[in-house]
Chains A and B, each alone.
Chain A
Amino acid sequence: MLKVLTHAARRDLLLASRRSGEVLAALFFFVMVAMLYPLAVGPEPALLRSVGPGVLWATALLASMLSLGRIFGHDLVDGTLEQMLLSAEPLVAVVIGKVLAHWLITGVPLVLLTPLIALQFDLSAESVQVLAASLLIGTPVLSLVGAIGGALTLGLRGGGALVAVLVLPLYVPVLVFGAGAVGAQAGGGDFSPHLQLLGALLAASFALAPWAAAAALRIALN
C-alpha cells in the first residue's frame, strides 16, 4: 500500500514539474492578491497588522482551491483514473498519494512564501512564525477536504463553481482557527489551542477524507 501511495505521489510531482504553468498560476494568484491588498486598504501599519493574517489565510485558501479540479480531472479525461480504480492496490492509497502531491505542490510553497509576503503587513517575527505554523498544519486539511469536493464534482459541467460551494463551508473552521492563532499571539494570548484545534481537524480529515474521496471516485465512474 505504501509503495502505491509513493508511486502516485511521485507521478503527480513529475507531472507537475512538466506542467509548471499550472502550478505557478496558483502561486501567482496568492502573491498578487496578497500584494494588492495593502495597496487597497492603505499604508496604516496597525490596520495592516490586524487584517494581515486573515488576508493571507483567505488568499491561501482560495489559491489552494484553484487547483482542486486538477487532482483527479486530468486522470478522468485520459483514462488513467479508470486504471486506478481497477488496480489491485487500495484506491485509498492512490488518493492519499495524490493528495500528498497536491499539498506539496500548492500548500508547501504557500507556507514558504508567507514570511516574505507577511513583511508587507508589518507582522512581527513571532506572528509570522505562528502564521507559518498554522498554514503548515492547515493547508494539508485544505488538500484533504478539497479532494472530496474534486472527486464529487468530477466530470460535471461547471464543476469548478460547484466544488467551491461544497468545499468552502468545510474550509471555514480551518480559516477561523488558522487566522485566530495569529490574532491570539498578536493580542498577547495563548495561541496553542488554535493550533491544537487545527491539528485535530488535520487528524480527522486524514482519517475520513481519503475514504470519502475514494468512494466519490467510484460513484463518479459508475
Chain B
Amino acid sequence: MFDDLNIEVGAGEALWVKGRNGAGKTSLLRQLCGLTRPSAGSVLWRGHDIHRKYQASADFHRSLLYLGHANNLKDELTGVENLVLGERLAGRTLDGLGAAEALARVGLSRAAWRPAGRLSQGQRRRIGLARLHVTQRPPLWILDEPFTALDDVAADALHATLEQHLVRGGIVVYTTHQPRSLAAARSHVLDLSARAAGQPQPC
C-alpha cells in the first residue's frame, strides 16, 4: 500500500496524515502503532524495531496512546468505569477520582456517571478523548480522526490539548479531514492521496 515511505517524527513534533477516504490513513496508523506488520520495512521507536525485541515492544507500548475509530467503550459501563478499566488493562493506574477529573476536563461531569450506551456520539467520543487527560500520559499519541463527532467548542479544546502535549515534548500523529494543523515546533504533513498521484511530499 505504501512504497518508499520514510517518516521521522521527533519530540515536540506532529504528523498530520491526510488523504481521501480509502487512501490508507487508518492502515498507516495501525502499522505505526504495531497492530499490523508492514510487509516490508520497519517501524522504529527510539531506534528499536517495535516488532523485534520484547523489551523494545514493551517500551513502545508503554509510550503509546492510540485512539482508533472506535471509542473503546462498553455500553453497559459508565464513563468513569470505562476509563478506569481501560487504563488498568493498558497497564496504567487510574482510580475513579482521576477518571472523573479527566472526564470533567472534556466537559463530561454528570454524564460521566451514566452508562456509555445512553450517551450521544459526541459524548462517547469525549470519553475516548478523556484518556488524553489522565495523569500517566504516554508521550506518543496516535489519533485516528479525533475531531469526529465533536462540536466546535470540544474540537477547539482538543486542539489546545494536542498543542499543550507538543509543547511538553510529546509526539502527535493524527488524521483528520478538518483543516486543523498544529502549531508544533516542527509539523509534518503527509498527504497519501498526493503520494498516490505522484506529487512530491515535504516529509
Contacts and interface: CB of A to CB of B under 8 A. Distances in A.
Given A83-B86, A222-B36, A4 B91 contact: yes
Contacts of B77: 14-15, 18
B85 A7 contact: yes
B35 A11 contact: no
B61 A79 contact: no
A212 to B, nearest CB: 18
Contacts of B73: 78, 80
Interface in B36-68: 36-37, 58, 61-62, 64, 66, 68
* Residue with the highest number of chain A CB atoms closer than 10 Å, among B66, B74, B81: B74
Interface in A161-184: none
B103 to A, nearest CB: 17
B88 A4 contact: yes
Contact of B37 (A83, A89, A222): A222
Given A11-B85, A87-B61, A221-B35, A79 B68 contact: yes
Given A82-B72, A83-B72, A11 B66 contact: no
B33 A86 contact: yes
Contacts of B37: 222
B64 A86 contact: yes
B114 to A, nearest CB: 13
Contacts, number: 74
Nearest to A218: B35
Interface residues of A, number: 25
Contacts of A94: 89
A94 B61 CA distance: 15
Nearest to A11: B85
Interface string A8-23: 1001001100110000
Q: How large is the interface on B (under 10, 10 to 19, 20 to 34, 35 or more residues)?
A: 20 to 34
Contacts of B64: 86
A10 to B, nearest CB: 8
Interface majority SS on A: helix, strand, loop or mixed?
A: helix
B135 interface: no
Interface in B67-89: 68-77, 81, 85-86, 88-89
A174 B89 CA distance: 32
B89 A83 contact: yes
B72 A78 contact: yes
B34 interface: yes
Contacts of B185: none
B76 A83 contact: no
A71 B95 CA distance: 26
B35 A85 contact: yes
A87 B89 contact: yes
Nearest to B81: A14
Contact of B35 (A15, A82, A89): A82
A14 B115 CA distance: 13
A11 B72 CA distance: 14
A88 interface: yes
A94 B91 CA distance: 11
B90 interface: yes
The 7 closest A-B pairs by CB, nearest first: A79-B70, A18-B76, A88-B62, A89-B91, A88-B61, A88-B91, A7-B88
Interface of B: 33-37, 58, 61-62, 64, 66, 68-77, 81, 85-86, 88-91
Given A86-B33, A222-B35, A222-B37, 14 more contacts: A3-B88, A14-B77, A14-B81, A18-B76, A19-B76, A74-B74, A78-B73, A80-B74, A80-B86, A82-B68, A83-B86, A88-B58, A89-B90, A221-B36
